[in-house]
Structure 1
């Protein structure tokens, strides 16, 4: 079941959304201490740059490296993360694919979510960061990637349970998190339209109560 995540003025709703789709801003994470090649083709490698453990999730750093400069036009230049599939398999058997969730609703508290947080690059180097929440259950965690457009078959990287457990013990809460400040919508002031001109006639034809900016 999903509960509504409509853009409301409720501070509790905003806080819950923040916790599910972004790392907490009142914590110092602990490095899990793993990295390496997840998958590769003859000319491309997908790397795990590192993991950072927060009390309620994992921050995942990925990178794409290419042996040659891409041909033009190349769709990886036109679309962020084009063709790169990322997923996580948890120790309890549940699986989640990065970016495939409903942004119009808030997942249940125990439902795993893997959110793209950003990235970029170009040419031979690309980077991508993801946020997995809630914190994974005890046991190994498997990161799965594939990029058919670059010839990288489905590949897996296992993160050892002991490394995850050690990082969980050292993630530090800096201070209790203060409630989010609610910013209510403010109506913009009316546009100063010169009388008797083209803009006055154009705004008058709009299906509104008047020019609002």
Structure 2
């Protein structure tokens, strides 16, 4: 999950940045009627569970299914996307890979961005959700996955252009979106630290490292 740090006081800038990380909260999406197995190994399968179409992007739901219970040192316990590579190939030939964007230099408004939205699970069943913005151009969309740690080689799943086109006009804008409120940094109240102990010394050392106002 990403958190967005915005220094601009322009509400429009905040709204545009937010849409790069998450679907719009003033829309009811339309389901794209596709699902299936993208790739599999001997004991693991990676699934396309579903796609939801918004006016400005796609929300993509993936699933991982395991034949056996994972061991205590299994990488999938560490983070929801540990070892799972996900990318998209657009109909115009452009490609984008999830989680490998330079957020300090955000691409232009017409350039694709694929963002991890979250995930989780346990045992033999895991999930991962992603957000693609802007909406892809007309044509087929190819989902590419690989997970070497789970024995799944690079695999592809083509989402048919007609399924994407049929859903494109069905996303419903519920109401005009109100501007985001710009959140400014708030200084925390001092922590009540017991006097004369380790914490008092530790916090005193931290305060000496703070830059002068």
Q: TM-score, normalization: structure 1?
A: 0.88
Alignment-derived partner of residue 8 in structure 1 = 7
Alignment-derived partner of residue 26 in structure 1 = 26
Change (3 A) 1:93 1:190: same
Once structures 1 and 2 are overlaid, which stretch shifts more, 17-26 or 87-96?
17-26
Q: Which has the larger radius of gyration?
A: 1
Alignment-derived partner of residue 78 in structure 1 = 78
Can you list the C-alpha shifts for 1:160-203, whole angstroms capped at 9, x where unaligned?
11110010011111111110012222333445678xx4269736
Instruction: Give the drift of 1:208.
Output: 6.4
Alignment-derived partner of residue 55 in structure 1 = 55
Change (3 A) 1:94 1:198: same
Can you list the C-alpha shifts for 1:115-148, whole angstroms capped at 9, x where unaligned?
0000101211110000001000000000000111
Alignment-derived partner of residue 133 in structure 1 = 133
- For 1:88 and 1:45, locate their aligned partners in 2 and report how far apart those are by CA, in whole Å: 18
Change (3 A) 1:85 1:193: closer
- For 1:139 and 1:41, locate their aligned partners in 2 and report how far apart those are by CA, in whole Å: 29
* 1:162 match: secondary structure: helix
Instruction: Give the drift of 1:9.
Output: 4.1
Q: Which runs of 5+ in 2 are unaligned?
A: none
* 1:111 match: secondary structure: coil
Can you list the C-alpha shifts for 1:75-122, whole angstroms capped at 9, x where unaligned?
111232111110000000000001110122322011100000001012
Change (3 A) 1:187 1:93: same
- For 2:49 and 2:151, locate their aligned partners in 1 and report how far apart those are by CA, in whole Å: 20
Instruction: Give the drift of 1:70.
Output: 1.5
Moved over 6 A (4+): none
* 2:169 match: secondary structure: helix
Instruction: Give the drift of 1:71.
Output: 2.5
Q: Which runs of 5+ in 1 are unaligned?
A: none
Alignment-derived partner of residue 91 in structure 1 = 91
Q: TM-score, normalization: structure 2?
A: 0.88
Alignment-derived partner of residue 196 in structure 2 = 198
Contact 2:80–2:128 under 8 Å retained in 1: no
Once structures 1 and 2 are overlaid, which stretch shifts more, 185-194 or 39-48?
185-194
Alignment-derived partner of residue 100 in structure 1 = 100
- For 1:40 and 1:123, locate their aligned partners in 2 and report how far apart those are by CA, in whole Å: 17
Instruction: Give the drift of 1:13.
Output: 2.3
